[in-house]
Amino acid sequence: MSDRLLDTLRSARPGWLPRARAESAVGPSGPGLPEALRRLRARGFRIDESDDGGLALRGEPDLLDADDIRRGLHTRVVGRRVRVFQRVTSTNDVIGDLARQGEPEGTVVLAETQTEGRGRRGRGWWSPPGKGVWMSVLLSPPVRRGSVPVTTIIGGLAVSDAIRASTGLSALIRWPNDVVIGGRKVAGVLVEAHQRPGGRDLLLGIGIDVNAGQDELPPEIADIATSLSEAAGEPIDRPELVRTLLAELDRWYRIKLDRDIDTINEQWRERSATLGRRIVLEEHGRRFEGTVADVDVRFGIALRMSRGNIRHFRGEHISLIGSDCDG
């Protein structure tokens, strides 16, 4: 009832919605228009009324709501179910528990804040309340070698696409799992594999710093990170960003399932912040330095060493120590 009214109010923006149309949207059954308005206002929607009874949607809450996100989302897999929590240890923890309980593929978990958010190799992830998108998706693709690195890359591509569609900003992928704008990190992707009877699940975790001010960032990341709102110069609509991201994830996941590696590689190379850059990485305790000659989801990163020879490294086995694209 209230959701049909909300859709109708949104379609009338920025003008007024005649009361007769609002009553028609609510329908003849149920408590009626006053109750529908009360419910929307209780969720944080700001709705003005004119002297003649017209209605106008003037503001929406900066809160993540599962029903609101699902409405209008036309995806095949990602977003089949959406669950929103106020506070969790990490969304990957929650989606892992749900997977063990039989939750279907495509389930999405979002949280307003994480108390133990994490990145690669157990590093902590800053997740302040209401300032970002902290999200995990349950995927159950056919078991193939290299599935985790490919899923990490398509996660980065989906984040890049969603940022561009929502803000107009160009977001690049800094191998192995960062998304950057102007050399500063705005998002990270973490994929964890969980075994289950007859196969395994992939827990695709994504963290995006959306509306934090630069002065709010912790000192240890303030010089290397930023938020979308800082880069765009205006607040970002988080629910709309989430809807866009889920649609892009669904599209890239289907490309992965179709094994269209050429498309993934082409777009990764086009949006790579690392290609052609000099980097230092560590593999099994040994450090290597060279220039990134190529990136490929099948073979990993190709590093041209000082003697001119090419050596390949896979993302799950290495740590990026430094890069001339960091500054």
Report how far residue 286's alpha carbon sits from residue 279's, in angstroms, rounded to the nearest whole number: 14
Asked whether residue 51 falls in the same domain as residue 156, the answer is no
Residue with tokens 């990026």: 320
Q: pLDDT band for position 327 (50/70/90)?
A: very low
Residue with tokens 């073979």: 299
> What is the pTM for the complete model shown?
0.85
Asked whether residue 116 falls in the same domain as residue 213, the answer is yes
Q: Are 120 and 190 in contact (CB under 8 A)?
A: yes
* 318 or 90: which leads in pLDDT: 90
Q: What is the CATH number of the domain that holds 315?
A: 2.30.30
Asked whether residue 157 falls in the same domain as residue 48, the answer is no
Asked whether residue 264 falls in the same domain as residue 121, the answer is yes
Q: pLDDT band for position 120 (50/70/90)?
A: low
Asked whether residue 106 falls in the same domain as residue 255, the answer is yes
Q: Are 186 and 231 in contact (CB under 8 A)?
A: yes
The model's pLDDT over 43-52, given as tens digits with 9 standing for 90+, comes to 788 999 999 9
Buried b (16+ CB within 10 A) or exposed e, 77-97: bbbbebbbbeebebbbbbbbe
Q: pLDDT band for position 91 (50/70/90)?
A: very high
Listed residues 59, 75, 98: the one ending a domain: 59
The model's pLDDT over 248-299, given as tens digits with 9 standing for 90+, comes to 999 999 999 999 999 999 999 999 999 999 999 988 889 999 999 999 998 8
* 1 or 226: which leads in pLDDT: 226
Asked whether residue 260 falls in the same domain as residue 139, the answer is yes
Q: Report the mean per-residue pLDDT for the chain.
A: 91
Asked whether residue 246 falls in the same domain as residue 286, the answer is no
Q: What is the pLDDT of residue 191?
A: 94
Please state the rounded mean pLDDT for residues 170-185: 94
Lowest mean pLDDT among 2-11, 96-105, 316-325: 316-325
Asked whether residue 180 falls in the same domain as residue 307, the answer is no
- Whether the per-residue pLDDT at 1 is higher than 60: the answer is no
- Whether the per-residue pLDDT at 326 is higher than 70: the answer is no
Asked whether residue 155 falls in the same domain as residue 234, the answer is yes
Query: 196 - beta bridge partners?
Result: 199
Asked whether residue 173 falls in the same domain as residue 300, the answer is no
Asked whether residue 135 falls in the same domain as residue 246, the answer is yes
Q: Which domain holds residue 34?
A: 2-59
Listed residues 226, 244, 270: the one ending a domain: 270
Q: What is the CATH number of the domain that holds 163?
A: 3.30.930.10
Q: Could you give the 3-state DSSP secondary structure of residue 306?
A: coil
Q: What is the CATH number of the domain that holds 26?
A: 1.10.10
Listed residues 226, 253, 270: the one ending a domain: 270
* Total domains, the chain: 3
Q: Could you give the 3-state DSSP secondary structure of residue 258?
A: coil
Asked whether residue 47 falls in the same domain as residue 97, the answer is no
